[in-house]
Structures are given as structure tokens and as C-alpha cells.
Amino acid sequence: MKYLGTRLKELRKELNKSQSFVAHDLSIGQTTYAGYELDKSEPSNEMLITLSDYYNVSTDYLLGHSNVKATQAEVDFSNKIEIKGIEQMIKEYNLTLGDEAMDPGEEKKLVKLIKLFTESNN
């Protein structure tokens, strides 16, 4: 688990917490947690999930399979919020195409285009 130790250390430092503090929060020994950060020991699958929950990142991120910290559920939720926000923004701010207001069909096309763009970038 080449990335695990590095990622754990970075996440802990982002929170300005000591190894002892995190270990106490996780109900494990400080030396056990230090072993994870130093890549001298590997956490069980259950502990890996606990660590990802604690730091609010995906297990894929901890293991180096992804550079995206967010869990897939968070990414999906964020995308839904963004699309809903776009639909609301079009209506609220009366966005136009040139000098003309968009009709509902054009609004839908714009939202579809934005969805396609968003999905292709994930």
C-alpha cells in the first residue's frame, strides 16, 4: 500500500492533528497508527473504511487508486446540485441567447450540454 502512509500523513496534517489525537479518535494505539503512516503495517479492510470515514475521503484515494478525495456519493451529489443550480440560474437570472430570452426547449438543451460536459470531465 505504497500511497496509504503518505496520504494518511497529509490528511492528518491538513487537520492539524497529532498521531496520538487521531489514534485516540480511532480507538487504536498511537504506534499502530504510526505504523500505517510509515507503511510498516497495513490496516484491516474494516480499519481502512474507518480511516476513509474519519478523513471523509474514498478508500480509493487512500490506496492511491484515485487522486480525487471525494467519495463517489459526494461527487454524484455535487453534480446533481450543480445541474439543479444551473437550471435555477437560467430561470432566476433570465439568461439569454444573444438578445433573446431562451425558450424552455433551449434551456433543456443547454442543461443537457452542461451535463454531457460535466460527465465527460469526471
Bridge partners of 101, per DSSP, are 96
SS3 92: helix
pLDDT at 105: 76
Domain range enclosing 95: 72-120
Place of cell 470531465: 121
State whether 77 and 48 are in the same domain: no
| Tens-digit pLDDT string for the chain (122 aa) | 568 999 999 999 999 999 999 999 999 999 999 999 999 999 999 999 999 989 988 888 899 887 767 655 656 655 665 666 666 766 666 667 677 777 777 777 777 777 776 666 55
- For residue 10, count other CB atoms closer than 10 A to its CB: 12
Could you tell me the end-to-end alpha-carbon distance of the chain, in angstroms, rounded to an integer? 25
For the chain, how many structural domains are there in total?
Answer: 2
pTM: 0.59
45 and 18 in a common domain: yes
